[in-house]
Amino acid sequence: MRPTFEDTLAYARERDYTGWDLYDGESSRILRALPVDSKWLNLAFQQSVRRSPVNVRPLLFVEQRPNPMGTALFSMANLTAYDVTGDERYRADARRLADWVVENQVDGYGGFCVGHSHPLQGLSKRTTPDIPGVVGTSWATKALIAAGDRFDGPYHEVARSAADFVFESLDYGEAPTGARIDYKATDTGDHYTLNANALGARLLVDLYDAFGDATHRARAERILEYVAAQQTDRGGWMYRDPPEASHLSMDNFHNGFIVQSFLRYREVCDPEAFATTVDDAVAFYRELFTADGAPHFDESNVYPRDVHSSSQGAIVFSMLGEFDRAETILRWARENLSDGQGRFFHEQRRFYTDRTTLMRWCQAWMAYAMGEYLRRSETATASGRVPA
- How far is the C-alpha of 122 from the C-alpha of 183, rounded, in Å? 15
121's enclosing H/E stretch is: strand 120-121
- How far is the C-alpha of 270 from the C-alpha of 246, rounded, in Å? 33
- How far is the C-alpha of 86 from the C-alpha of 92, rounded, in Å? 11
- How far is the C-alpha of 79 from the C-alpha of 143, rounded, in Å? 10
CA atoms within 13 A on the CB side of 361: 22
- How far is the C-alpha of 204 from the C-alpha of 275, rounded, in Å? 20
Sign, CA dihedral 258-322-363-80, equals: positive
- How far is the C-alpha of 283 from the C-alpha of 240, rounded, in Å? 21
Tens of pLDDT, residue by residue, the chain (388 residues): 889 999 999 999 999 999 999 999 999 999 989 988 888 999 999 999 998 889 999 999 999 999 999 999 999 999 999 999 999 999 999 999 999 999 999 999 989 999 999 988 888 788 888 999 999 999 999 999 999 999 999 999 999 999 999 999 999 999 999 999 999 999 988 899 999 999 999 999 999 999 999 999 999 999 999 999 999 999 999 999 999 999 999 999 999 999 999 999 999 999 999 999 999 999 999 999 999 999 999 999 999 999 999 999 999 999 999 999 999 999 999 999 999 999 999 999 999 999 999 999 999 999 999 999 999 999 888 777 654 4
Q: Are 130 and 136 within 8 A, CB to CB?
A: no
Contacting residues for 316 by C-beta, under 8 A, at least 6 apart = 256, 259, 260, 263, 285
pTM to 2 decimals?
Answer: 0.95
- How far is the C-alpha of 258 from the C-alpha of 247, rounded, in Å? 18
Q: Are 357 and 19 within 8 A, CB to CB?
A: yes
Architecture of the CATH domain 105-285: Alpha/alpha barrel (1.50)
Q: Which residues of 319-344 are buried (b: 16+ CB within 10 A; e: fewer)?
A: bbebbebbbbbbbbbbebbbeeebbb
Question: Please, is 37 exposed, middle or buried when counting C-beta atoms within 10 Å of its C-beta (0-12, 13-18, 19+)?
Answer: exposed
Contacting residues for 128 by C-beta, under 8 A, at least 6 apart = 115, 119
- What values do phi and psi take at 293, rounded to 5? 95, 5
| CA proximity to 103, closest of 134, 75, 64 | 75
How far is the CA of 246 from the CAs of 176, 242, 249, 300, in angstroms? 21, 8, 8, 16
Count CB-CB contacts under 10 A for residue 349.
14
14's enclosing H/E stretch is: helix 2-14
